[in-house]
Structure 1
């Protein structure tokens, strides 16, 4: 199932984001190689990084939730889970 994930950062989370960014990027690259993350990028407001967007593809909600339980930006409080959105989508095929 494909999803759009919209994750705004907690207020004043930039230092925490930078502290755990390497672990986040490493995990994201692994999931991209597995086809689980289709694409991802930062949310920018007034030239400042304020969150993340990801298009993901997981077998089911359990697999999605397992990723979130281990995602460094979730575990370390970078993403504001009260403003967190997960929307099922159907992306246009690349070919």
Structure 2
């Protein structure tokens, strides 16, 4: 199932975001190659990264939960899980 993930950062998390960004991007690139992440990008406010958006495709709730358990921005407290949203979507086919 496809989802839109909206993840705002915790207050003051910019430094932590930058520290773990390489691990986050490496994991995202792997998941893009696997077809799990369809597209992703940073949320920007006043020229600052304040969160992330991702379009993802997971087979089950267990699979999306496993991703979140291992996601560097979750593990390192970058994303504010109280403002975290996962919304089912149906994206237009690319072809």
> Shorter-chain TM-score: what band?
over 0.9
- Residue 15 of structure 1 is matched in structure 2 by 15
- Residue 42 of structure 1 is matched in structure 2 by 42
- Residue 82 of structure 2 is matched in structure 1 by 82
Write out the 4+ residue segments of structure 1 that deviate beyond 4 Å after TM superposition: none
Q: CA deviation at 1:63?
A: 0.2
Query: TM-score by structure 2 length?
Result: 0.99
Q: CA–CA distance in 2 between the matches of 1:23 and 1:92?
A: 29
> Does residue 1:26 correspond to 2:26, yes or no?
yes
Q: CA–CA distance in 2 between the matches of 1:76 and 1:87?
A: 23
- Structure 1: 5+ residue stretches without partners: none
- Residue 67 of structure 2 is matched in structure 1 by 67
- Structure 2: 5+ residue stretches without partners: none
Q: CA–CA distance in 2 between the matches of 1:92 and 1:62?
A: 25
Q: CA deviation at 1:47?
A: 1.1
Q: CA–CA distance in 2 between the matches of 1:34 and 1:7?
A: 22
SS of match in other structure, 1:64 = helix
Query: TM-score by structure 1 length?
Result: 0.99
